[in-house]
Structure 1
Amino acid sequence: MKERVLVGEMSEIGRLVLLGAPLGNPADASTRLGEVLSTADVVAAEDTRRLSRLARDLDVTIPGRVVSYFEGNEERRTPELVEVLTAGHLVALVTDGGMPSVSDPGYRLVRAALDAGIPVTAAPGPSAVTTALALSGLPCDRFCFEGFLPRSRGARRARLRALVTEERTLVLFEAPHRVAAALADLADTFGVDRPAALCRELTKTYEEVLRRPLGDLARWAAEGDPRGEITLVVAGAPATPPARPDDDALRALVAEREAAGRTRRDAVTDVATDHGLRRRDVYAVVHQQQ
Protein backbone atom coordinates (compact mmCIF):
# COMPACT_ATOMS: atom_id res chain seq x y z
CA MET A 1 0.00 0.00 0.00
CA LYS A 2 1.39 3.41 -0.98
CA GLU A 3 2.36 5.53 2.01
CA ARG A 4 0.51 8.84 2.22
CA VAL A 5 1.29 11.89 4.33
CA LEU A 6 -2.17 13.41 4.62
CA VAL A 7 -3.57 14.33 8.00
CA GLY A 8 -6.88 15.77 9.16
CA GLU A 9 -8.45 18.70 7.32
CA MET A 10 -7.99 22.28 8.53
CA SER A 11 -9.42 25.50 7.13
CA GLU A 12 -6.42 27.84 7.19
CA ILE A 13 -3.42 27.67 4.89
CA GLY A 14 -0.38 25.93 6.28
CA ARG A 15 3.29 26.82 6.44
CA LEU A 16 6.55 25.18 5.40
CA VAL A 17 9.53 25.56 7.72
CA LEU A 18 13.05 24.66 6.59
CA LEU A 19 15.16 23.46 9.50
CA GLY A 20 18.92 24.02 9.58
CA ALA A 21 20.20 20.81 11.18
CA PRO A 22 23.55 20.28 12.96
CA LEU A 23 26.40 19.12 10.74
CA GLY A 24 27.40 16.55 13.32
CA ASN A 25 27.41 17.93 16.84
CA PRO A 26 23.81 17.96 18.17
CA ALA A 27 24.74 20.76 20.59
CA ASP A 28 24.77 23.09 17.58
CA ALA A 29 21.01 22.68 17.13
CA SER A 30 18.99 25.81 17.79
CA THR A 31 16.24 26.00 20.37
CA ARG A 32 13.84 26.91 17.59
CA LEU A 33 14.66 23.71 15.69
CA GLY A 34 13.51 21.70 18.69
CA GLU A 35 10.39 23.83 19.03
CA VAL A 36 9.39 23.32 15.40
CA LEU A 37 10.01 19.56 15.57
CA SER A 38 7.77 19.34 18.64
CA THR A 39 4.89 21.27 17.03
CA ALA A 40 4.93 20.33 13.33
CA ASP A 41 2.03 18.29 11.98
CA VAL A 42 4.37 16.56 9.52
CA VAL A 43 8.16 16.32 9.56
CA ALA A 44 9.72 15.43 6.22
CA ALA A 45 13.25 14.09 6.76
CA GLU A 46 16.02 13.11 4.37
CA ASP A 47 16.85 10.22 6.70
CA THR A 48 14.21 9.36 9.29
CA ARG A 49 16.70 7.33 11.34
CA ARG A 50 19.09 10.27 11.66
CA LEU A 51 16.16 12.47 12.63
CA SER A 52 15.22 10.01 15.38
CA ARG A 53 18.78 10.10 16.74
CA LEU A 54 18.80 13.90 16.66
CA ALA A 55 15.47 14.05 18.51
CA ARG A 56 16.83 11.72 21.19
CA ASP A 57 20.00 13.77 21.55
CA LEU A 58 17.91 16.92 21.95
CA ASP A 59 15.37 15.23 24.25
CA VAL A 60 12.63 16.33 21.85
CA THR A 61 9.43 14.40 21.23
CA ILE A 62 8.06 14.58 17.68
CA PRO A 63 4.25 14.15 17.93
CA GLY A 64 3.61 14.77 14.24
CA ARG A 65 3.91 12.29 11.44
CA VAL A 66 7.45 11.64 10.19
CA VAL A 67 7.90 10.83 6.51
CA SER A 68 10.94 10.36 4.31
CA TYR A 69 11.87 13.02 1.76
CA PHE A 70 15.04 12.30 -0.20
CA GLU A 71 16.37 12.40 -3.73
CA GLY A 72 14.68 9.16 -4.71
CA ASN A 73 11.14 10.14 -3.72
CA GLU A 74 11.13 13.97 -3.99
CA GLU A 75 9.14 14.03 -7.20
CA ARG A 76 6.40 11.77 -5.86
CA ARG A 77 6.24 13.13 -2.33
CA THR A 78 6.27 16.86 -3.15
CA PRO A 79 2.62 17.09 -4.31
CA GLU A 80 1.53 15.08 -1.27
CA LEU A 81 3.25 17.54 1.06
CA VAL A 82 1.81 20.51 -0.84
CA GLU A 83 -1.62 18.95 -0.33
CA VAL A 84 -0.94 18.78 3.42
CA LEU A 85 0.20 22.41 3.44
CA THR A 86 -2.82 23.54 1.46
CA ALA A 87 -5.03 21.84 4.02
CA GLY A 88 -3.61 24.16 6.66
CA HIS A 89 -0.91 22.12 8.37
CA LEU A 90 2.60 22.95 9.50
CA VAL A 91 5.25 20.94 7.64
CA ALA A 92 8.89 20.93 8.72
CA LEU A 93 11.63 19.86 6.31
CA VAL A 94 14.97 18.65 7.68
CA THR A 95 17.98 17.11 5.93
CA ASP A 96 20.94 15.21 7.33
CA GLY A 97 22.87 18.42 8.08
CA GLY A 98 22.79 22.07 7.10
CA MET A 99 20.00 23.85 5.28
CA PRO A 100 17.53 22.03 3.03
CA SER A 101 17.80 22.95 -0.69
CA VAL A 102 21.54 23.75 -0.47
CA SER A 103 22.92 20.67 -2.27
CA ASP A 104 20.27 18.73 -0.35
CA PRO A 105 16.62 17.82 -0.99
CA GLY A 106 14.22 20.71 -0.60
CA TYR A 107 14.28 23.04 -3.59
CA ARG A 108 11.50 21.15 -5.35
CA LEU A 109 9.20 21.43 -2.32
CA VAL A 110 10.07 25.09 -1.69
CA ARG A 111 9.26 25.97 -5.30
CA ALA A 112 6.02 23.99 -5.28
CA ALA A 113 4.90 25.55 -1.98
CA LEU A 114 5.60 29.07 -3.21
CA ASP A 115 3.77 28.39 -6.47
CA ALA A 116 0.78 27.27 -4.38
CA GLY A 117 0.86 30.50 -2.37
CA ILE A 118 2.02 28.79 0.81
CA PRO A 119 4.29 30.73 3.20
CA VAL A 120 7.83 29.37 3.49
CA THR A 121 10.18 30.28 6.31
CA ALA A 122 13.30 28.85 7.96
CA ALA A 123 14.80 28.10 11.33
CA PRO A 124 18.43 28.82 10.35
CA GLY A 125 21.21 26.64 11.56
CA PRO A 126 24.73 25.39 10.84
CA SER A 127 26.09 25.51 7.30
CA ALA A 128 28.99 23.45 5.95
CA VAL A 129 29.57 26.17 3.35
CA THR A 130 30.15 29.09 5.70
CA THR A 131 31.78 26.95 8.40
CA ALA A 132 34.42 25.61 6.00
CA LEU A 133 34.89 29.05 4.47
CA ALA A 134 35.56 30.62 7.86
CA LEU A 135 37.96 27.85 8.91
CA SER A 136 39.87 27.79 5.61
CA GLY A 137 41.94 30.89 6.28
CA LEU A 138 41.16 32.05 2.74
CA PRO A 139 39.42 35.33 1.83
CA CYS A 140 35.72 35.05 2.61
CA ASP A 141 34.38 38.54 1.93
CA ARG A 142 33.25 37.30 -1.51
CA PHE A 143 32.79 33.65 -2.41
CA CYS A 144 31.15 31.36 -4.94
CA PHE A 145 29.41 28.12 -3.92
CA GLU A 146 29.58 25.45 -6.65
CA GLY A 147 28.06 22.50 -4.81
CA PHE A 148 29.11 19.07 -6.09
CA LEU A 149 31.31 18.87 -9.17
CA PRO A 150 30.12 16.59 -12.02
CA ARG A 151 30.94 12.93 -11.49
CA SER A 152 32.45 12.20 -14.90
CA ARG A 153 36.00 13.38 -15.50
CA GLY A 154 35.22 15.15 -18.77
CA ALA A 155 32.29 17.11 -17.37
CA ARG A 156 34.21 17.89 -14.19
CA ARG A 157 37.20 19.28 -16.05
CA ALA A 158 34.91 21.32 -18.30
CA ARG A 159 33.26 22.87 -15.24
CA LEU A 160 36.65 23.67 -13.71
CA ARG A 161 37.89 25.28 -16.94
CA ALA A 162 34.88 27.57 -16.78
CA LEU A 163 35.88 28.54 -13.22
CA VAL A 164 39.62 28.95 -13.71
CA THR A 165 39.44 32.76 -13.87
CA GLU A 166 36.87 33.13 -11.06
CA GLU A 167 38.37 35.62 -8.59
CA ARG A 168 36.07 34.79 -5.69
CA THR A 169 36.92 32.02 -3.23
CA LEU A 170 35.29 28.77 -4.33
CA VAL A 171 33.46 26.36 -2.02
CA LEU A 172 32.78 22.82 -3.25
CA PHE A 173 31.26 19.64 -1.83
CA GLU A 174 32.76 16.28 -2.75
CA ALA A 175 32.18 12.64 -1.88
CA PRO A 176 35.13 10.91 -0.18
CA HIS A 177 35.50 8.30 -2.96
CA ARG A 178 35.76 11.04 -5.61
CA VAL A 179 37.81 13.66 -3.75
CA ALA A 180 41.20 12.38 -4.98
CA ALA A 181 40.12 12.63 -8.62
CA ALA A 182 38.51 16.02 -8.03
CA LEU A 183 41.65 17.42 -6.37
CA ALA A 184 43.85 16.06 -9.17
CA ASP A 185 41.68 17.86 -11.73
CA LEU A 186 41.65 21.02 -9.62
CA ALA A 187 45.45 21.01 -9.42
CA ASP A 188 45.79 20.38 -13.17
CA THR A 189 43.33 23.15 -14.05
CA PHE A 190 44.00 25.81 -11.40
CA GLY A 191 47.68 25.07 -10.81
CA VAL A 192 49.40 23.08 -8.09
CA ASP A 193 50.25 26.22 -6.11
CA ARG A 194 46.69 27.57 -5.77
CA PRO A 195 45.93 27.83 -2.01
CA ALA A 196 43.12 25.61 -0.76
CA ALA A 197 41.67 23.88 2.28
CA LEU A 198 40.10 20.46 2.71
CA CYS A 199 37.58 20.41 5.55
CA ARG A 200 36.50 16.97 6.73
CA GLU A 201 33.88 15.90 9.28
CA LEU A 202 33.15 19.44 10.42
CA THR A 203 31.96 19.72 14.05
CA LYS A 204 32.37 15.96 14.53
CA THR A 205 34.81 13.97 16.66
CA TYR A 206 37.39 13.60 13.90
CA GLU A 207 37.13 17.09 12.42
CA GLU A 208 40.14 17.90 10.25
CA VAL A 209 41.10 20.98 8.22
CA LEU A 210 44.08 20.70 5.88
CA ARG A 211 45.27 24.08 4.56
CA ARG A 212 47.67 23.35 1.70
CA PRO A 213 48.23 24.13 -2.01
CA LEU A 214 46.10 22.08 -4.39
CA GLY A 215 49.07 19.96 -5.48
CA ASP A 216 49.79 18.90 -1.89
CA LEU A 217 46.14 18.14 -1.21
CA ALA A 218 45.90 16.07 -4.40
CA ARG A 219 48.90 13.99 -3.30
CA TRP A 220 47.49 13.61 0.21
CA ALA A 221 44.17 12.34 -1.13
CA ALA A 222 45.81 10.00 -3.66
CA GLU A 223 48.03 8.41 -1.01
CA GLY A 224 45.44 8.16 1.73
CA ASP A 225 41.83 7.08 2.22
CA PRO A 226 39.76 10.23 2.83
CA ARG A 227 36.55 9.53 4.68
CA GLY A 228 33.56 11.43 5.95
CA GLU A 229 31.80 14.49 4.60
CA ILE A 230 34.21 16.78 2.74
CA THR A 231 34.06 20.46 1.84
CA LEU A 232 36.75 21.99 -0.34
CA VAL A 233 37.64 25.68 -0.26
CA VAL A 234 39.84 27.01 -3.07
CA ALA A 235 41.35 30.48 -3.36
CA GLY A 236 40.09 32.55 -6.27
CA ALA A 237 42.22 33.34 -9.30
CA PRO A 238 44.59 36.30 -8.97
CA ALA A 239 42.99 39.50 -10.18
CA THR A 240 43.65 40.10 -13.86
CA PRO A 241 45.37 43.46 -14.42
CA PRO A 242 43.52 45.77 -16.81
CA ALA A 243 44.68 45.71 -20.39
CA ARG A 244 47.17 48.46 -21.21
CA PRO A 245 45.69 51.05 -23.57
CA ASP A 246 47.82 51.83 -26.63
CA ASP A 247 49.87 55.04 -26.68
CA ASP A 248 47.25 57.07 -28.52
CA ALA A 249 44.60 56.01 -26.02
CA LEU A 250 46.84 56.93 -23.09
CA ARG A 251 47.45 60.40 -24.51
CA ALA A 252 43.70 60.83 -25.07
CA LEU A 253 42.91 59.79 -21.49
CA VAL A 254 45.41 62.27 -20.08
CA ALA A 255 44.08 65.03 -22.34
CA GLU A 256 40.53 64.24 -21.23
CA ARG A 257 41.44 64.71 -17.58
CA GLU A 258 43.36 67.91 -18.32
CA ALA A 259 40.31 69.26 -20.13
CA ALA A 260 38.30 68.52 -16.98
CA GLY A 261 40.62 70.74 -14.95
CA ARG A 262 43.31 68.35 -13.71
CA THR A 263 46.93 69.43 -13.91
CA ARG A 264 49.20 67.49 -16.27
CA ARG A 265 50.91 65.85 -13.29
CA ASP A 266 47.62 64.80 -11.68
CA ALA A 267 46.15 63.64 -14.98
CA VAL A 268 49.16 61.42 -15.65
CA THR A 269 48.98 60.03 -12.10
CA ASP A 270 45.25 59.26 -12.48
CA VAL A 271 45.70 57.38 -15.73
CA ALA A 272 48.70 55.45 -14.44
CA THR A 273 46.78 54.40 -11.31
CA ASP A 274 43.66 53.39 -13.26
CA HIS A 275 45.62 51.08 -15.55
CA GLY A 276 48.27 49.72 -13.21
CA LEU A 277 51.10 51.51 -15.00
CA ARG A 278 54.13 53.37 -13.76
CA ARG A 279 53.64 57.14 -13.76
CA ARG A 280 56.90 57.80 -15.55
CA ASP A 281 55.92 55.46 -18.39
CA VAL A 282 52.65 57.30 -18.97
CA TYR A 283 54.45 60.64 -18.74
CA ALA A 284 56.96 59.48 -21.39
CA VAL A 285 54.15 58.44 -23.74
CA VAL A 286 52.36 61.79 -23.34
CA HIS A 287 55.52 63.72 -24.21
CA GLN A 288 56.60 61.54 -27.14
CA GLN A 289 54.91 63.74 -29.75
CA GLN A 290 55.41 67.07 -28.06
Structure 2
Amino acid sequence: MLTPEQLDREYNARAAIPEHPRIFERWRAESRAARDQLRCETDYHFGPSPAESLDLYPAAARNAPLLVFIHGGYWRSLDKQDFSFLAPAFVRAGVAVAMPNYDLAPAASIESMVQQMLRAMAWLYRTVPQLGIDAQRIVVAGHSAGAHLAAMMLAADWPAWARDLPPDLLSGAVCISGIYDLQPLVRAPFLRADLKLDDETAQRVSPVRYQPGLATPLITAVGGDESGEFRRQNRLIRQAWPQCFHRDLPLPGRHHLASVEALGEPDHPLFQATLHLLGKTP
Protein backbone atom coordinates (compact mmCIF):
# COMPACT_ATOMS: atom_id res chain seq x y z
CA MET A 1 0.00 0.00 0.00
CA LEU A 2 1.31 3.42 -0.92
CA THR A 3 1.95 5.98 1.79
CA PRO A 4 0.09 9.33 1.68
CA GLU A 5 3.29 10.99 0.43
CA GLN A 6 3.64 8.43 -2.36
CA LEU A 7 -0.03 8.87 -3.30
CA ASP A 8 0.51 12.59 -3.70
CA ARG A 9 3.53 12.00 -5.92
CA GLU A 10 1.68 9.46 -8.05
CA TYR A 11 -1.63 11.25 -8.42
CA ASN A 12 -0.83 14.97 -8.24
CA ALA A 13 -0.26 15.34 -11.96
CA ARG A 14 0.00 19.13 -11.93
CA ALA A 15 2.82 19.04 -9.39
CA ALA A 16 4.78 16.85 -11.81
CA ILE A 17 4.33 19.39 -14.64
CA PRO A 18 5.88 22.72 -13.54
CA GLU A 19 4.81 24.39 -16.77
CA HIS A 20 1.13 23.58 -16.25
CA PRO A 21 0.05 27.26 -15.87
CA ARG A 22 1.46 28.02 -19.31
CA ILE A 23 -0.28 24.95 -20.77
CA PHE A 24 -3.62 26.06 -19.36
CA GLU A 25 -3.14 29.55 -20.77
CA ARG A 26 -2.31 28.10 -24.20
CA TRP A 27 -5.43 25.92 -24.04
CA ARG A 28 -7.55 28.98 -23.23
CA ALA A 29 -6.07 30.95 -26.13
CA GLU A 30 -6.53 28.07 -28.58
CA SER A 31 -10.06 27.54 -27.29
CA ARG A 32 -10.99 31.20 -27.80
CA ALA A 33 -9.71 30.90 -31.36
CA ALA A 34 -11.73 27.72 -31.89
CA ARG A 35 -14.93 29.38 -30.70
CA ASP A 36 -14.24 32.29 -33.04
CA GLN A 37 -13.86 30.03 -36.06
CA LEU A 38 -16.63 27.53 -35.33
CA ARG A 39 -20.35 27.85 -34.89
CA CYS A 40 -20.68 27.52 -31.13
CA GLU A 41 -24.09 27.21 -29.49
CA THR A 42 -23.43 27.98 -25.85
CA ASP A 43 -25.06 27.08 -22.61
CA TYR A 44 -27.83 24.65 -23.34
CA HIS A 45 -29.17 23.75 -19.88
CA PHE A 46 -29.91 20.15 -19.00
CA GLY A 47 -30.51 20.27 -15.23
CA PRO A 48 -31.48 22.47 -12.29
CA SER A 49 -28.00 23.66 -11.31
CA PRO A 50 -26.58 26.69 -13.18
CA ALA A 51 -23.48 24.56 -13.84
CA GLU A 52 -25.54 21.96 -15.72
CA SER A 53 -24.97 23.47 -19.15
CA LEU A 54 -23.23 22.41 -22.32
CA ASP A 55 -21.78 23.98 -25.44
CA LEU A 56 -22.53 22.44 -28.82
CA TYR A 57 -20.33 22.66 -31.92
CA PRO A 58 -22.56 21.44 -34.77
CA ALA A 59 -21.24 19.74 -37.87
CA ALA A 60 -22.01 21.24 -41.29
CA ALA A 61 -24.11 18.29 -42.48
CA ARG A 62 -27.25 16.99 -40.82
CA ASN A 63 -27.47 13.55 -39.21
CA ALA A 64 -23.90 13.85 -37.95
CA PRO A 65 -22.57 11.66 -35.14
CA LEU A 66 -21.93 13.27 -31.75
CA LEU A 67 -18.83 13.28 -29.58
CA VAL A 68 -19.52 14.28 -25.97
CA PHE A 69 -16.30 15.42 -24.26
CA ILE A 70 -16.23 15.63 -20.44
CA HIS A 71 -13.44 17.80 -19.09
CA GLY A 72 -11.09 16.93 -16.27
CA GLY A 73 -9.54 18.96 -13.46
CA TYR A 74 -9.70 16.46 -10.58
CA TRP A 75 -13.44 17.12 -10.20
CA ARG A 76 -12.56 20.52 -8.71
CA SER A 77 -11.35 22.85 -11.49
CA LEU A 78 -11.43 23.78 -15.19
CA ASP A 79 -14.38 24.42 -17.47
CA LYS A 80 -15.89 23.15 -20.71
CA GLN A 81 -14.63 26.20 -22.59
CA ASP A 82 -11.03 25.43 -21.64
CA PHE A 83 -11.27 22.49 -24.07
CA SER A 84 -12.92 24.07 -27.11
CA PHE A 85 -9.60 23.58 -28.89
CA LEU A 86 -10.46 19.89 -29.27
CA ALA A 87 -13.57 20.60 -31.37
CA PRO A 88 -12.26 21.91 -34.74
CA ALA A 89 -10.71 18.67 -35.98
CA PHE A 90 -13.91 16.73 -35.28
CA VAL A 91 -16.22 19.36 -36.76
CA ARG A 92 -14.10 19.41 -39.94
CA ALA A 93 -14.45 15.62 -40.09
CA GLY A 94 -18.25 15.87 -39.97
CA VAL A 95 -18.75 15.22 -36.23
CA ALA A 96 -20.78 17.42 -33.88
CA VAL A 97 -19.18 18.01 -30.46
CA ALA A 98 -20.89 18.65 -27.13
CA MET A 99 -18.98 19.75 -24.02
CA PRO A 100 -20.91 19.67 -20.72
CA ASN A 101 -20.06 21.31 -17.42
CA TYR A 102 -20.82 20.04 -13.94
CA ASP A 103 -20.64 21.40 -10.41
CA LEU A 104 -17.17 21.16 -8.88
CA ALA A 105 -15.78 20.05 -5.53
CA PRO A 106 -15.76 20.97 -2.72
CA ALA A 107 -19.25 22.41 -3.29
CA ALA A 108 -20.39 19.21 -5.03
CA SER A 109 -19.73 15.54 -4.41
CA ILE A 110 -18.48 13.18 -7.09
CA GLU A 111 -21.76 11.28 -6.78
CA SER A 112 -23.68 14.41 -7.71
CA MET A 113 -21.34 15.02 -10.67
CA VAL A 114 -22.09 11.51 -11.95
CA GLN A 115 -25.82 12.25 -11.70
CA GLN A 116 -25.34 15.52 -13.56
CA MET A 117 -23.55 13.74 -16.39
CA LEU A 118 -26.34 11.15 -16.53
CA ARG A 119 -28.77 14.05 -16.96
CA ALA A 120 -26.56 15.56 -19.66
CA MET A 121 -26.41 12.34 -21.66
CA ALA A 122 -30.16 11.76 -21.32
CA TRP A 123 -30.88 15.35 -22.43
CA LEU A 124 -28.61 14.97 -25.42
CA TYR A 125 -30.17 11.67 -26.49
CA ARG A 126 -33.65 13.19 -26.33
CA THR A 127 -32.70 16.51 -27.93
CA VAL A 128 -30.11 15.87 -30.63
CA PRO A 129 -32.58 14.67 -33.31
CA GLN A 130 -34.08 18.19 -33.21
CA LEU A 131 -30.55 19.59 -33.67
CA GLY A 132 -29.81 17.50 -36.76
CA ILE A 133 -27.61 14.98 -34.94
CA ASP A 134 -27.84 11.19 -35.15
CA ALA A 135 -28.95 9.89 -31.74
CA GLN A 136 -27.75 6.40 -32.70
CA ARG A 137 -24.12 7.52 -32.93
CA ILE A 138 -23.17 9.09 -29.59
CA VAL A 139 -19.66 8.51 -28.22
CA VAL A 140 -18.57 9.85 -24.84
CA ALA A 141 -14.94 10.85 -24.21
CA GLY A 142 -13.15 12.30 -21.23
CA HIS A 143 -9.76 13.12 -19.79
CA SER A 144 -8.58 12.56 -16.21
CA ALA A 145 -11.62 13.18 -13.95
CA GLY A 146 -13.62 13.45 -17.16
CA ALA A 147 -12.46 9.96 -18.16
CA HIS A 148 -13.78 8.69 -14.82
CA LEU A 149 -17.15 10.32 -15.54
CA ALA A 150 -17.14 8.97 -19.10
CA ALA A 151 -16.52 5.46 -17.76
CA MET A 152 -19.44 5.87 -15.35
CA MET A 153 -21.60 6.74 -18.37
CA LEU A 154 -20.51 3.53 -20.08
CA ALA A 155 -21.47 1.56 -16.96
CA ALA A 156 -24.89 3.25 -16.69
CA ASP A 157 -28.13 1.26 -16.85
CA TRP A 158 -29.98 3.80 -18.96
CA PRO A 159 -33.51 2.31 -18.82
CA ALA A 160 -33.18 2.23 -15.02
CA TRP A 161 -32.30 5.94 -15.08
CA ALA A 162 -35.29 6.78 -17.29
CA ARG A 163 -37.71 4.43 -19.00
CA ASP A 164 -37.57 6.24 -22.34
CA LEU A 165 -33.80 5.67 -22.70
CA PRO A 166 -32.38 2.67 -24.60
CA PRO A 167 -29.74 0.38 -23.07
CA ASP A 168 -27.46 1.17 -26.01
CA LEU A 169 -27.62 4.97 -25.63
CA LEU A 170 -23.86 5.10 -26.20
CA SER A 171 -22.06 3.62 -29.19
CA GLY A 172 -18.60 3.94 -27.64
CA ALA A 173 -16.34 5.59 -25.07
CA VAL A 174 -12.83 7.04 -25.10
CA CYS A 175 -11.14 7.32 -21.71
CA ILE A 176 -7.83 9.19 -21.50
CA SER A 177 -5.62 9.17 -18.39
CA GLY A 178 -8.51 8.35 -16.08
CA ILE A 179 -8.92 7.10 -12.53
CA TYR A 180 -11.29 4.17 -12.32
CA ASP A 181 -10.70 2.92 -8.78
CA LEU A 182 -11.02 5.92 -6.47
CA GLN A 183 -10.02 4.06 -3.33
CA PRO A 184 -6.41 5.37 -3.37
CA LEU A 185 -7.67 8.95 -3.43
CA VAL A 186 -9.27 8.55 0.00
CA ARG A 187 -5.78 8.81 1.51
CA ALA A 188 -4.20 11.32 -0.91
CA PRO A 189 -3.53 14.50 1.15
CA PHE A 190 -3.73 16.94 -1.76
CA LEU A 191 -7.32 15.90 -2.52
CA ARG A 192 -8.73 15.00 0.88
CA ALA A 193 -10.25 18.36 1.83
CA ASP A 194 -11.91 18.96 -1.53
CA LEU A 195 -13.22 15.51 -2.45
CA LYS A 196 -14.26 14.35 1.05
CA LEU A 197 -14.11 10.71 -0.03
CA ASP A 198 -14.33 7.83 2.39
CA ASP A 199 -14.04 4.12 1.62
CA GLU A 200 -17.77 3.70 1.06
CA THR A 201 -18.27 6.67 -1.23
CA ALA A 202 -15.08 5.88 -3.16
CA GLN A 203 -16.43 2.43 -3.92
CA ARG A 204 -19.80 3.80 -5.06
CA VAL A 205 -18.20 6.10 -7.62
CA SER A 206 -15.50 3.72 -8.89
CA PRO A 207 -16.27 2.45 -12.40
CA VAL A 208 -14.41 -0.81 -11.77
CA ARG A 209 -17.10 -1.70 -9.19
CA TYR A 210 -19.70 -1.93 -11.97
CA GLN A 211 -20.18 -4.01 -15.10
CA PRO A 212 -21.60 -2.46 -18.29
CA GLY A 213 -24.62 -4.37 -19.47
CA LEU A 214 -23.50 -4.27 -23.11
CA ALA A 215 -20.18 -4.83 -24.86
CA THR A 216 -19.98 -1.18 -25.92
CA PRO A 217 -16.48 -0.53 -27.32
CA LEU A 218 -14.04 1.28 -25.06
CA ILE A 219 -10.81 2.95 -26.17
CA THR A 220 -8.26 3.70 -23.45
CA ALA A 221 -5.11 5.82 -23.54
CA VAL A 222 -2.52 7.10 -21.08
CA GLY A 223 0.64 9.14 -21.55
CA GLY A 224 3.95 7.31 -21.61
CA ASP A 225 5.38 9.92 -19.22
CA GLU A 226 2.56 9.64 -16.71
CA SER A 227 3.02 8.12 -13.26
CA GLY A 228 2.92 4.42 -12.54
CA GLU A 229 -0.45 4.79 -10.84
CA PHE A 230 -2.07 6.45 -13.86
CA ARG A 231 -0.72 3.68 -16.05
CA ARG A 232 -2.00 1.08 -13.56
CA GLN A 233 -5.45 2.67 -13.54
CA ASN A 234 -5.48 2.49 -17.35
CA ARG A 235 -4.77 -1.25 -17.20
CA LEU A 236 -7.33 -1.71 -14.44
CA ILE A 237 -10.35 -0.60 -16.45
CA ARG A 238 -9.35 -2.79 -19.39
CA GLN A 239 -9.03 -5.79 -17.09
CA ALA A 240 -12.31 -5.01 -15.32
CA TRP A 241 -14.28 -4.64 -18.58
CA PRO A 242 -12.85 -7.15 -21.08
CA GLN A 243 -16.20 -7.34 -22.88
CA CYS A 244 -15.90 -3.65 -23.74
CA PHE A 245 -12.18 -3.29 -24.35
CA HIS A 246 -11.61 -2.31 -27.97
CA ARG A 247 -8.17 -0.68 -28.18
CA ASP A 248 -5.49 0.82 -25.99
CA LEU A 249 -3.56 3.56 -27.72
CA PRO A 250 -0.10 4.36 -26.32
CA LEU A 251 0.83 8.02 -26.07
CA PRO A 252 4.63 7.91 -25.92
CA GLY A 253 6.43 10.98 -24.62
CA ARG A 254 3.26 12.62 -23.31
CA HIS A 255 2.63 13.72 -19.75
CA HIS A 256 -0.82 13.94 -18.15
CA LEU A 257 -1.85 17.22 -19.79
CA ALA A 258 -0.33 16.50 -23.18
CA SER A 259 -2.27 13.22 -23.34
CA VAL A 260 -5.61 14.93 -23.96
CA GLU A 261 -4.17 17.08 -26.75
CA ALA A 262 -3.76 13.95 -28.90
CA LEU A 263 -7.56 13.66 -29.11
CA GLY A 264 -7.77 16.83 -31.18
CA GLU A 265 -4.81 16.18 -33.50
CA PRO A 266 -6.10 14.94 -36.89
CA ASP A 267 -2.98 12.89 -37.64
CA HIS A 268 -2.90 11.15 -34.28
CA PRO A 269 -4.10 7.53 -33.96
CA LEU A 270 -6.27 8.50 -30.97
CA PHE A 271 -8.23 11.00 -33.07
CA GLN A 272 -8.53 8.53 -35.92
CA ALA A 273 -9.67 5.68 -33.67
CA THR A 274 -12.28 7.96 -32.12
CA LEU A 275 -13.57 8.84 -35.60
CA HIS A 276 -13.99 5.12 -36.34
CA LEU A 277 -16.08 4.70 -33.16
CA LEU A 278 -18.25 7.54 -34.44
CA GLY A 279 -18.74 5.78 -37.76
CA LYS A 280 -16.50 8.17 -39.70
CA THR A 281 -13.26 7.60 -41.58
CA PRO A 282 -10.27 9.94 -41.36
Q: Into which bin does the TM-score normalised by the smaller protein fall?
A: under 0.3
Name whichever structure is richer in helix by fraction. 2
Higher relative contact order structure (alpha carbons within 8 Å, sequence separation ≥ 6): 2
Larger Cα-atom Rg: 1
